[in-house]
């Protein structure tokens, strides 16, 4: 089942004198099978990333180092999530216009994704996104 609301999920962290280890299992900690992993790093100060929505893709974002903000807009309201803990991640369902910003120097975010990379899954225009949301509400 595809969850409809974004939420923070705490993942297991094994803390030892020799350091920490965190892990994520498909179906146990996140509600999808991981098909792809990508990461974002070396983001210059003041840069924004994202500014698009996905029709189908589910993602789980974990900030391994540093901090960043994720703004999620559902077509009517915007919610902000600050990601700054490596043992917590943001479950990001499809159907949200996302903006990533306020990357601190050295921030690294790893993203676990439910699908392979598919440019056709992206909505890159905000008005198109609103129209797509409206259509979904009518047909749901
Ligand atoms: C998202 C946010 C959080 C690939 O070739 N394969 C991939 O798996 C990805 C994710 C990207 N790319 C290429 C496509 C572009 O030429 O890498 C380039 C940069 O991608 P993009 O401009 O989409 O990067 P962001 O940071 O704006 O968005 C990414 C994800 O694409 C998107 O799904 O939700 O991170």
Across residues 85-97, what is the average pLDDT?
98
Query: Would you say the pTM of this structure is higher than 0.85?
Result: yes
What is the three-state SS of 29-48?
CECCCCCEEEEECCCCCCCC
Question: Which tokens belong to 63?
Answer: 């900030």
**Ligand 1 pocket, residue 31 CB under 6 Å:** no
Name the residue at shortest CA distance from atom 9 of ligand 1: 117
Q: Which domains does the chain have, with CATH numbers?
A: 7-139 (2.60.120.10)
Question: Which tokens belong to 134?
Answer: 């409206």
Is residue 52 annotated as a catalytic residue, yes or no? yes
Edge to edge, the sheet with strand 88-92 lists: 7-10, 88-92, 59-65, 108-113, 36-40
Across residues 51-60, what is the average pLDDT?
98
Across residues 6-12, what is the average pLDDT?
98
**Ligand 1 pocket, residue 40 CB under 6 Å:** yes
Confidence of residue 137 (pLDDT cuts 50, 70, 90): confident
Contact status, residue 136 vs residue 56, Cβ threshold 8 Å: no
pLDDT tens-digit map of 117-135 = 999 999 999 999 999 999 9
> According to the model, what pLDDT value does residue 140 have?
63
Helices marked H in 1-140: 126-139
Distance 19 CA to ligand 1 centre (A): 31
Ligand 1 atom index nearest CA of 100: 3
């Amino acid at each position: 089942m595809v969850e409809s609301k974004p939420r923070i999920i705490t993942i297991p962290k094994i803390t030892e004198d020799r350091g920490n280890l965190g892990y994520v299992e498909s179906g146990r900690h996140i509600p999808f099978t991981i098909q792809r992993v990508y990461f974002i790093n070396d983001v210059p100060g003041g840069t924004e990333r994202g500014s698009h929505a996905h029709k189908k893709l589910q993602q789980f974002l974990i900030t391994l180092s540093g901090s960043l903000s994720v703004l999620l807009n559902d077509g009517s309201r915007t919610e902000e999530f600050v990601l700054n803990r490596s043992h917590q991640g943001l479950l990001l369902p499809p159907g949200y216009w996302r903006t990533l910003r306020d990357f601190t120097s050295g921030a690294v975010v790893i993203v676990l994704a439910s699908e392979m990379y598919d440019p056709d899954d992206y909505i890159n225009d905000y008005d198109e996104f609103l129209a797509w949301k409206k259509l979904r509400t009518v047909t749901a």
